[in-house]
Structure 1
Amino acid sequence: MTPIPSPFESADGLQLAVDLRHPSGCPTLLFAHGFGQTRGAWNAAAGTMAARGCRCVTFDSRGHGESGHMPDGAYHMEQFVDDLLELARAQPEPPILVGASMGGLLGLLVAGEMRPSPFRALVLVDITPRWETSGVERILAFMQAHPEGFASYAEAAEQIAAYLPQRRERKSEQQLRPLLRESADGRLRWHWDPALLANGLVSESERYQPRLLAAAAKVEVPVLLLSGEHSDVVSHRTVDEFLALVPHARHAEVPGATHMLAGDANDAFTAAIAGFLESLEPADVQQDAAKQPAIKQPAMRY
């Protein structure tokens, strides 16, 4: 389903790039990507769920993709929280947040601290309030590894393939164009604002862990935590801690997937979300799903 550009202005005047699929669908899914990603990370998942009748909203966080950059390079966690809150409130109904990594952490803060919650439910994608530092360090090492950029899309594709060896296919130039920008020197550089890595935003997130743990304990809406079998960011230790904090949450482990869960196993990912939605709003979701081809449920580990 072709996305409809729906630009959104943040509370502090920054333009955020937003895409909408199936505007009249129900329920509304609001997809929040991880640090260093773009709304393009959700293309397959949002397309699948829109085809099943859901209204799907994807966006680039500030400093990422086609969204605006802070003129002074000063990024703080509260700005991202406010953006997500305003986007949620702008929807025609309380959305179900699907948040990966950073997007999931922002969702936890909003759902745990805001009353009433602006979300109908949460789907957390391979993230818990306390994470494995080694996995995050690996992600940041990749993001910082090529400040000089790339000479060609082929070179960029080669580096991504080395970083994601579990992916069978290399990204094409068409897939890479939204992720890279051509600089004045002709080199291709990543889409994110370099200030995101330079101003301490990442280290600031570590200081948020006590607040995240406290927020998780206050979440009252339904929660589905999806983790990758081979994730190095989420572990059995962090999952167990989260489930103790949020005893009403459901957890499913996606076989064969890493931290990049939606990209590694989109069919299993969307099937898990579809099953979760049916448990939330059986009348609306099942009626609409009856018109769509069934998604085969994978062998998930609950």
Structure 2
Amino acid sequence: MVNLSHFPETIARFPVADLSLAVETRNPAGRPALLFAHGFGQTRGAWNGAAAALAGVGCRCVTFDTRGHGESERATGGEYHMDQFADDLLRLALAQPEPPILVGASMGGLLGMVLAGEIRPAPFRALVLVDITPRWETAGVERILAFMQAHPDGFADYAEAADRIAGYLPQRRERKSEEQLRPLLREGADGRLRWHWDTALLAGVVHESERYQPRLQAAAAKIDIPVLLLSGARSDVVSRATVDEFLQLVPHAQHVELAQATHMVAGDANDAFTREVSRFVQNLDSLSVDRRHAGAVQP
């Protein structure tokens, strides 16, 4: 194991078309490069455990807050569109010293599928999809959105926020501490704590995502780089039916189901998640995609 103290995180502003993103890099001289894209309503902090562990075994690990989330800037006028998120991710990928392996959870994975399927050459060396497929279970997404919309007035203190998260994620054994919650909440002028994302996101990206499904399916069928799909056995967003459909579209993809994980795979089963990503990364050199035959994986 590499001593992580040799690789302090560096946080920078990355300019995109109309604003700037907060980007954090661990082990900047490491290889291969991994670029982590979080889910809707999350921040780069969702990857802290996995990124630190993978940097510790020699990888360059780059995490970032998508526009409207965390420490990244909000869109002027409050307009957000899926194509903007995809363009931001593309710019970040092209800025890396080599084509990165994209690790994308939920929305981050959807953006990765679009770019990997529609752009040639693909901007990524490989793709790790975290509990997301081109078609998803609507009930699971509605549950997530209901939680995001449930507290428009925020919370009186960190203890109240921790209570609400514990109720939403009952599978988590550890209650969120104030230190863990600070990056997730912002204090308003009224003294109340509200989530780190722009509420205007709910009016834009959410309604566009359903219309994106045909495009996602078409893009997935054209992916010709190595793919690993990590799904949670207890997920209500990805199901056996959506996984089977995805594997028909991307027959060369590998699939691993993590028994104890819900849709929040990296947080629910972080050790197992990190182990599977590490194994996939280590085996990449032995994988080649036959572009002539629908992307069959060969040793």
Is 1:80 the counterpart of 2:105 in the alignment? no
Instruction: Select 2:153's aligned residue among 122, 139, 148.
Output: 148
**How far is the alpha carbon of 1:278 from its aligned partner?**
1.4
Aligned pair partner of 2:53 in 28, 48, 54: 48
What is the DSSP-based 3-state SS (H/G/I as helix, E as strand, rest coil) of the residue aligned with 2:24? strand
Distance 1:55 1:200 in 2: 33
CA contact (8 A) 2:54 2:61 kept: yes
User: What secondary structure, in the 3-state scheme, does the structure 1 residue paired with 2:78 have?
Assistant: coil
Aligned partners of 2:224, 2:106: CA distance in 1, in Å? 20
Matched letter for residue 13 of structure 2: P
Give the CA deviation at 1:11. 2.2
Note if 1:121 corresponds to 2:126: yes
Distance 2:163 2:36 in 1: 28
Distance 1:11 1:54 in 2: 28
User: For residue 30 of structure 1, what is the aligned residue in structure 2?
Assistant: 35
User: Matches of 1:95 and 1:200 in 2, distance apart?
Assistant: 28
Alignment partner for residue 247 of structure 1, among 247, 251, 261? 251
Task: Look up the equivalent residue of 1:279 and give its one-letter code.
Answer: N
Per-residue CA distance 1:95-142 (angstroms, 9 max, x = gap):
000000000000000000000001000000000000000000000000
- Taking every aligned residue pair, what percent have the same amino acid on both sides? 73
Q: Which amino acid aligns with 2:27?
A: H
- Name the aligned partner's letter for residue 232 of structure 1: D
Deviations 1:277-296 (A, max 9, x none): 111136xxxxxxxxxxxxxx
User: In 2, distance between residues paired with 1:239 and 1:7?
Assistant: 36
C-alpha distance in structure 1 between counterparts of 2:275 and 2:205, whole Å: 34
Unaligned runs of 5+ in 2: 287-299
For residues 94 and 204 of structure 2, the distance between their equivalents in structure 1, rounded to whole angstroms, comes to 29
Between the aligned partners of 1:217 and 1:200, the Cα distance in structure 2 is: 26
Structure-2 residue corresponding to 1:299 = none
In the alignment, is residue 238 of structure 1 matched against residue 246 of structure 2? no
Distance (Å, rounded) in 1 between the aligned partners of 2:96 and 2:262:
31
Task: Output aligned runs, 1:150-189, within 5 Å.
Answer: 150-189=155-194
Letter paired with 1:20? T
- Which residue in 2 is equivalent to 1:263? 267
TM superposition outliers: structure 1 runs of 4+ over 4 Å? none
* CA–CA distance in structure 2, aligned partners of residues 174 and 240 of structure 1: 40
Give, in angstroms, the shift of residue 255 of structure 1: 1.0
Indicate conservation of the 8 Å contact 2:79/2:204, yes or no. Answer: no
Query: Which consecutive residues of structure 1, in runs of 5 or more, have no partner in the other structure?
Result: 283-302
**CA distance in structure 2 between the partners assigned to 1:281 and 1:66 by the alignment:** 35
The CA distance in 2 between the partners of 1:147 and 1:157, in whole Å, is 16
Cα RMSD (Å) of the superposition? 0.7
Q: Deviations over 1:205-239 (max 9, x none)?
A: 00000000000000000000000010000000000
Counterpart of 2:291 in structure 1 is none
CA separation in 2, counterparts of 1:224 and 1:201?
Answer: 25
Distance 2:243 2:9 in 1: 34
Q: How far apart are residue 71 of structure 1 and its match?
A: 1.5
- Aligned-partner Cα distance in 1 for 2:9–2:184: 17
Amino acid at match of 1:271: R
For the pair 1:272 / 2:276, whether they are aligned, the reply is: yes
Structure 2 match to 1:288? none
Q: How many Å separate the matches in 1 of 2:69 and 2:89?
A: 14
Q: Which residue of 2 aligns with 1:298?
A: none
